[in-house]
Amino acid sequence: MTALERKKGKDLRGQQVFLRPEESSAPALNTRQSTALSEQLQDALLRLAAVVDARSLRAALRDSIQELLPSTECVCYYFLEGDSRLLSEDPPHELPPEGKIRSIVEQLKRCQCAGLPLPELPEKYRICLAAPLPAHRRAVVIPILDQERNKAIAVLLVGCSPLSDQDEVHLNMLEKHASVACVRVRAVQSSYQRPPPSPSPIQSHNALLNLSVSDQDYCELDHNILQLCGELFDLDAASLQLKVINYLQQQTHSQCCCLLLVSEDNHQLFCQVVGDKVLEEEISFPLMFGRFGQVVEKKKSITLQDISAEERRQLSSMLGCEISSMLCVPVVSRATGQVVALACAFNKQGGQRHTEADEHAIQHCFCYTSTVLTSTLAFQKEQKLKVECQALLQVAKNLFTHLDDVSVLLQEIIVEARNLSDAEICSVFLLDRVSHELVAKVFDGGVVSDEEKEFRIPADQGIAGHVATTGQILNIKDAYSHPLFYRGVDDSTGFRTRNILCFPIKDENNEVIGVAELVNKMNGPWFNRFDEDLATAFSIYCGISIAHSLLYKKVHEAQFRSHLANEMMMYHMKVSEEEVCKLLVTGIQPVREIHPCFAEFTYTPRSLLDDTTPLGILSMFEDMGFINTYKIDLRTLARFCLMVKKGYRDPPYHNWTHAFSVSHFCYLLYKNLGLTNYLEDIEILALFVSCMCHDLDHRGTNNSFQVASQSVLAALYSSEGSVMERHHFAQAIAILNTFGCNIFEKFSRKDYQRVLDLIRDIILATDLAHHLRIFKDLQKMADDGFNPKSRNHRSMLLCLLMTSCDLSDQTKGWKTTRKIAELIYKEFFSQGDLEKAMGNRPSEMMDREKAYIPELQISFMEHIAMPIYKLLSELFPGATELYERVAANREQWTKVSHKFTIRGLPSNNSLDFLDQEYELLQSQGAFGSDDHCLNGCLEDEEGGRAHIRDNLTITYI
């Protein structure tokens, strides 16, 4: 349509608009394969689209269910026979007409239950379907519906695990495709019903035609017809027609003969062969074309004198010669008693008219050959259906490769719909529910440019509006006689609309999302029933592809928003050059200048001021030799340390101070236990960096809370487990990928991949659930002896060392341990308050009204902390003092427990009152000095409070 024509059409609201295809198609655009649907789902849908018989339908449904629901134990299939009987062939039995299963089927909805009544099931399926089923198994009843009749035409009984939300979505799609397949199979079956036993050919022939002809009169004809039947071995209907027509021409002495085949589904006559010539394109015309319709209806022969001059002219045009005589005889199917073809003989030799003997010869011929001919035509129809199904599969593949751009997808839909139906023009409208309008931006021949306005019509007017409102397909054989068609556009453009096939496009919820219109059938007088069925199947693929294209667009927009949010976060975490220069201005300070005891287990790293901790990290990097060994750029390292520090939030316990303390304990292990004799240098480096990053962006809540609250983190990581730990690792990678922060940039490709793998595994090991899973293996490794050449031993040792670093606050003096408990429970109780606000019941340790802190701490030390450091001391004798200090702290909790008369924390959130007895004992020399354990635990001179945190406490997960 030209721009002027389109402009004229814009004012015609509610009117039918069709656009001519341009000479050249729109330029091809780049496409990407969508990953919206899983491969199993696509395979299942495509498999169903190809079935044409009941056996392959049963197999396709069974295989599709087992692929979509991997936990499936059994699938029992019933197919509707008659009006109400539901029959199964494996084993052969009938679904009881009454009972629980039948009542579920009558509700026409899928039902999931804990089992089905035993008497209603065949013995084969009772184990996996009969009630009661265990909690991890379910019986699912799936009615397959005929949407037009609103009736179940098949039923599936499935034994499987409880259905997930994703399973429900997949089954919704499968049921729609199964419905189309079942309707198609029933239609094919109904067209091949076997006839009852019939009398001999000659008897039935005479009876059918009410003829009084003796058997002897047919002797010569019988000889000729037997010879003809011996030649009818072709599977091609045109070849069979050539032989039959040649026989008729000889028997009737006619110049030319032809067969006008009757199409029952769309009431057309079509001709494929004329004389000895197979037409390149079959000729078709309405069944009610002149007197020929009466021949079909009354089953009576006619001659040339019975037809009009116009009909004679059209027949002459089809034959390519003038007609002087004609005999048209109906061919009646012995199976159905219906007329399946009209046998026509033209121009009897010698200028004579056709006689009754000619009519008898034709009738005698088809008494023997009509069955072969109709069977071959049915076979060809089935082959055509197979080809169309294969074409539909290809269409589906084509559509699912254009999900990234809705406009390109709609253009592809137009092209495929036009090619499938052999239509002259196709238009696609999407439903805008906000404005209640049908919108077309993509037309047959291209896409509306940005300067042109998209075309809109009211969603309740015209043919497209009627289909959008009713959701039903509309096949209009004569457009100008239909009350909904507006012919003003045709009058203004000169285009003639003969017929229209308009069908709805629906989404997975069976709601109309668009309308497609096919205009002017090219190889027939109008669109037939086959086109309607094809359009129905095609519309399912259109609906799925459009819905997923829109979803694909939303996902991309969400990704862009996520990237933008990540960029904003990184911008606010950005480290300025001024901060880097300030950190490096004094150079890297030797560790002994930080504190004389900095490298001893008795040192408490929390005594350092928060602003000096990044410099402490640099000092430890230098003292462990990482900077020189791996050629780490100092400015890159400084920027990385400052970025990691900014990546921590400020909950009471899980903050940067905790990360620094954990990193310092890793340094202590390196200095005091000789880790170089146990681990490779790159593994020690990965352990130290993991300690720095292991709690990045911690929110003060644990994994269970993330899952229960259905947070964004849970949506990203819950399927893999260890939600927070995976987020910490992802944040570490984000910092490494930030410009100027990649401290591993000079690593080889192999070492770079290995160090990232190590950091991932070590950070994931901070999940106490992981530690408890491998504890027996750790104990066995300690009992058998550590093998530094074993990669598995080194991997398990790294996990143990990470856990011991994470809990290292328990190895310090009593005041530090007590203050750590105060801050941990402050964080825990905050989470418990959030859980209560959500309507959930928090665990005892998270509930400030129920938690008895001394008992929880003693249990944590006995079951978690002490076994860890006991195991560490068995591997490293130098770690014995760590175990002894944890045991001493556990004993002190026992001694002060009698002072703890409340649940939760005191009103001032402080546990200082527990120190009175400890200070008395300390003054008597019962404990070592704890004077330097101030950092992050006690008030500093200015009254500020440093924060501390940890990822692990009792089963604090």
Provide the annotated active-site residues: 654
Burial 449-475 (b: 16+ CB within 10 A, else e): eeeeeebbbbbebbbbbbbbeeeebbb
CA of residue 40 relative to chain centroid, distance? 9
Handedness of CA 285, 291, 297, 303 (dihedral sign): negative
- In SS3 terms, 204-221 reads as HHHHHHCCCCCHHHHHHH
Alpha-carbon distance of 108 to 111, in angstroms, equals: 9
Cβ pair 767, 725 in contact under 8 A: yes
SS3 of 143, please? Answer: strand
Tally Cβ neighbours within 10 Å of residue 907. 7
Give the span between the Cα atoms of 178 and 928, in whole angstroms: 78
Nearest to 722 by CA among 773, 765, 658: 765
DSSP string, 458-524: ETTSHHHHHHHHH---EEES-GGGSTT---HHHHHH------EEEEEEE-TTS-EEEEEEEEEESSS
Using alpha carbons only, give the angle 526, 529, 535 rounded to the nearest 5 degrees. 90
CA angle, corner 84, sides to 82 and 87, nearest 5?
75
Q: DSSP secondary-structure letter at 130?
A: B
- According to DSSP, the residues that pair with 141 across neighbouring strands are 111, 157
- From CA 549, how far away is CA 409, in angstroms rounded? 8
What does the block give as tokens for 302? 């006619």
Which long-range contacts link 621-627 to residues 24+ away (Cβ below 8 Å)? 621/588, 621/688, 622/588, 623/590, 623/591, 623/599, 623/667, 623/671, 624/667, 624/670, 624/684, 624/688, 626/685, 626/688
What single-letter amino acid sits at 166?
Answer: Q
Which tokens go with 464? 């497209």
**Distance, CA of 120 to CA of 105 (rounded, Å):** 13
CA-to-CA distance for 689 and 667, rounded, in angstroms?
Answer: 11
Q: How does DSSP assign 692-708, residue by residue?
A: HHTTTT--S--HHHHHH
CB of 154 closer than 8 Å to CB of 144: yes
Q: Which of 426, 584, 576, 583 is nearest to 505 (CA)?
A: 426
Q: How far apart are CA 6 and CA 22, in angstroms?
A: 14
Tokens of 547: 């819905």
Pairing mode, strands 277-286 and 442-443: unpaired
Residue ranges of the alpha helices (H) in 107-164? 126-129
Contact 115, 132 (CB under 8 A): yes
Beta bridge pairs of residue 139: 113, 159
CA distance 748 to 849: 55
For β-strands 277-286 and 302-303, DSSP reports them as: unpaired
Do β-strands 339-348 and 254-263 pair in parallel, antiparallel, or remain unpaired? antiparallel
Query: Which run of H or of E encompasses 447?
Result: strand 446-447
DSSP-based three-state secondary structure for 255: strand
For residues 362 and 327, the answer to whether their CB atoms sit within 8 Å is yes
